[in-house]
Amino acid sequence: MADTPLDAALARIASAHPSAIDPGLERLGRVAVRAGLDRVTVPLVTVAGTNGKGSTVAMLASVWQAAGHRVGTSTSPHLVDFNERIRIDGTPVPDERILAAIADIEPFIVPDTLTYFEIATLAAMACFRDAGVEAIVLEVGLGGRLDAANLWDADLAILTSVALDHAEWLGSDLLVIATEKAAIARSGRALIVGEWPAPASLAPFARANDIELVPAELAAVPGELGLPGEHQRRNAACVVEAVARLHDRLPVSAPDLRRGLSAARIDARMQRLRLRDIEVCLDVAHNPHAAAALASALAAQAVTDTGANTGADVGPAGWHLVFAALADKDIPGIVQALAPIARSFACPSLPGERALSGEALAARVGAALDDRTVPVSACTSVADASALAFARAGDEGGGVLVAGSFVTVGAWVGVHALDRQ
């Protein structure tokens, strides 16, 4: 299939800067000023955290949409199509609008250069401006203080969670990571924190910067959520607090709040479906913190579904994993978190410089497992790994769980696109 014009534009901007990640806001700030994108006049919320960012963005947007407000959201990365990153009222912006935004921005970049993510963030802001949205929600891509989403002064900031991930960029000191992420908050404004008690460094950081530190209250979450898992209630609590604090500018009734939370959806967050008469779960868990939340949620769901404590099984059996994490992730930690719900692992090779071969990945997975009776197989591709997992589930019972990275889940979705129609 030939590349689309958007594919060509994305390839061009991906090669425009010498490095994929270049923390700092000076270059981006200069370009934003030249392009007239440095100021925002509608309520703006930034969402940082190790896990839960995408879910929180989806729920917040869903609530405001339920109340009749027009909302623009920017998230990353995407599963299949770049358009997933830029949404207006939950709908991905079409190719032509993104192309127009990139074309408008590019003349203002020189003499600076911007990374792919920085241009994508500016393109999102151009799309939101042109569409006349009433609110903007930006997911922070990496860290917080130096991330592109932090260029604009947020009316409100959310910190969903703090755990280890992206250690090559953020380090391994949770106290430092917490303050780097908290730096998306502004003086005199609130930072809503999803996990409490917060890391010890947050309180002194907040005092020094005149930031109001606000714990999210689980008891404030009304009704049922559209996103499954107890961990989502923490994210929903952040949303409830954010909605209350911006109520004067974006009014939301109690019924709208309940309806928005119950209607919220986001792909590959404990997303359940049936394929070939087998239960499938898709989740982009790619660090131990997220993997532990996934395993716990699936275990709790198994109890609910069967009415008895069956551990983390799908019925009487467990999950056959299509699992691939990138080489720079804590693969042993992820595997050990998933082990209680795993009946087998099929480990595919993934494309890209950060990926491992199926053989190397399977070796790491096997070494991390205490139970050496759990089958671990190297596969050449996600398609082959999926076929093996389905065969195992068909023969032995249980379900197929696809996890480990956005790349893994996105490739699986591509493989099975026709099957799911």
172: amino acid identity, one letter: S
Work out the average pLDDT over 110-127: 96
- The pLDDT, as a whole number, for residue 332 is 96
Higher-confidence position of 230 and 410: 410
Q: Over the stretch 242-279, which tens digit does the pLDDT of each residue have?
A: 999 999 999 999 999 999 999 999 999 999 999 999 99
pLDDT band (50, 70, 90) for residue 141: confident
Q: Residues 115, 31: contact at Cβ < 8 Å?
A: no
Asked if the model's pLDDT at residue 345 lies above 60, the reply is yes
Residue ranges with strand state E in 119-211: 135-139, 156-159, 190-193
Structural domains of the chain ordered from first start: 5-263 (3.40.1190.10), 271-415 (3.90.190.20)
Asked if the model's pLDDT at residue 310 lies above 60, the reply is no
Asked if the model's pLDDT at residue 19 lies above 70, the reply is yes
Asked if the model's pLDDT at residue 414 lies above 50, the reply is yes
Closest C-alpha among 347, 345, 334 to residue 286: 334
- The pLDDT, as a whole number, for residue 133 is 98
Closest C-alpha among 228, 249, 252 to residue 239: 252
- The pLDDT, as a whole number, for residue 165 is 53
Three-state SS sequence of 10-37: HHHHHCCCCCCCCCCCHHHHHHHHHHCC
Helix (H) or strand (E) holding 401: strand 399-403
Q: Residues 57, 75: contact at Cβ < 8 Å?
A: yes
Cα atoms in the 13 Å half-sphere on the side-chain side of 326: 18
Asked if the model's pLDDT at residue 59 lies above 50, the reply is yes
Helix (H) or strand (E) holding 65: helix 53-66
DSSP string, 292-315: HHHHHHHHHHHHHHHSS--TT-BT
Closest C-alpha among 59, 57, 227, 70 to residue 154: 57
Work out the average pLDDT over 372-381: 95
Q: Which residues contact 311 (CB under 8 A, 6 or more apart)?
A: 299, 302, 318, 340, 341
- Calculate the average pLDDT of the chain: 92
- The pLDDT, as a whole number, for residue 172 is 63
pLDDT band (50, 70, 90) for residue 1: very low
- The pLDDT, as a whole number, for residue 43 is 98
- The pLDDT, as a whole number, for residue 307 is 44
pLDDT band (50, 70, 90) for residue 2: low
pLDDT band (50, 70, 90) for residue 293: very high
Asked if the model's pLDDT at residue 306 lies above 90, the reply is no
Q: How far is residue 183's CA from residue 144's CA, in Å, rounded to a whole number?
A: 6
Asked if the model's pLDDT at residue 302 lies above 50, the reply is yes
pLDDT band (50, 70, 90) for residue 4: very high
b/e for 302-330, b at 16 or more Cβ within 10 A? Answer: beeeeeeebebbbeeebbbbbbbbbeebb
Q: How far is residue 223's CA from residue 302's CA, in Å, rounded to a whole number?
A: 21
Backbone angles phi, psi at 308, to 5 degrees: -145, 160
- The pLDDT, as a whole number, for residue 204 is 96
Q: Over the stretch 160-218, which tens digit does the pLDDT of each residue have?
A: 998 755 555 455 678 888 999 999 999 999 999 999 888 999 999 999 999 999 999 99
With pLDDT > 90 as the criterion, what percentage of the chain qualifies?
81
Closest C-alpha among 101, 167, 126, 110 to residue 36: 126
